[in-house]
Structure 1
Amino acid sequence: MKNHEEKTDRFGRRYPDGALHKNRRELFQLAGIGLFSSLLAGQAKGEARHQPEFKVLGENDKIDIGDKGKEIIEKAYKLGYDFEKKHGGCCRCTVAALQRAIDFVPEDKALFRTASCLDGGATPNGIQNCGAFTGLGMVIGWLCGADKFGDTKLSHRLIRQVYKQFETEYGSVLCRDVKKKINHDCPEVVARAAKWTAEVLLRQFTNYQ
Structure 2
Amino acid sequence: MVEIKRTKEEIINKAEELGVEYEAKYKGCGQCTFLAIIDALRWGGLELIPEDMEDRLFSGICVMTAGVAMTGEGTCGAVNSAVLAIGLALGISRESQDDRVMRDGCVTIRNTILDKYYKEYSSILCKDVQRKFFGRAWDLTRDDMSQEFLGITEGCTIMQTARWSTEIILDEFEKGNLNLPV
Q: TM-score, normalization: structure 1?
A: 0.63
1:182 deviates by 1.2
State which of 163, 172, 178 in structure 2 corresponds to 1:195.
163
The 10-residue stretch of structure 1 (75-84 or 182-191) with the greater mean CA deviation from structure 2: 182-191
Q: Is 1:153 aligned to residue 153 of structure 2? A: no
Q: Which has the larger radius of gyration?
A: 1
1:92 deviates by 1.0
2: CA distance, partners of 1:186 / 1:173: 19
Residue type at the aligned position of 2:37: L
1:66 deviates by 6.1
Q: Which residue of 2 aligns with 1:82?
A: 21
Q: Is 1:167 aligned to residue 113 of structure 2? A: no
- Aligned residue pairs total 146
Residue type at the aligned position of 2:82: L
Q: TM-score, normalization: structure 2?
A: 0.71
Secondary structure of 1:122 counterpart: coil
Q: Which residue of 2 aligns with 1:130?
A: 76
Q: Runs of at least 4 residues of structure 1 off by over 6 A?
A: none
Q: Which residue of 1 aligns with 2:11?
A: 72
The percentage of aligned residue pairs carrying the same residue is 29
Give structure 1 stretches of 5+ with no counterpart.
1-61
2: CA distance, partners of 1:123 / 1:165: 24
Residue type at the aligned position of 2:115: K
Q: Is 1:119 aligned to residue 70 of structure 2? A: no
Check whether the contact 1:80–1:187 (CA below 8 A) recurs between aligned residues. yes
For 1:19-98, what aligned pairs fall within 5 Å after superposition? 63-65=2-4, 68-98=7-37
Residue type at the aligned position of 1:114: G
Aligned-residue Cα RMSD (Å) equals 2.1
Secondary structure of 2:87 counterpart: helix
Secondary structure of 1:118 counterpart: coil
Q: Is 1:206 aligned to residue 174 of structure 2? A: yes
Give structure 2 stretches of 5+ with no counterpart.
135-148, 176-182
2: CA distance, partners of 1:111 / 1:141: 14
1:85 deviates by 3.0
2: CA distance, partners of 1:186 / 1:158: 29
2: CA distance, partners of 1:86 / 1:111: 17
Check whether the contact 2:63–2:69 (CA below 8 A) recurs between aligned residues. no
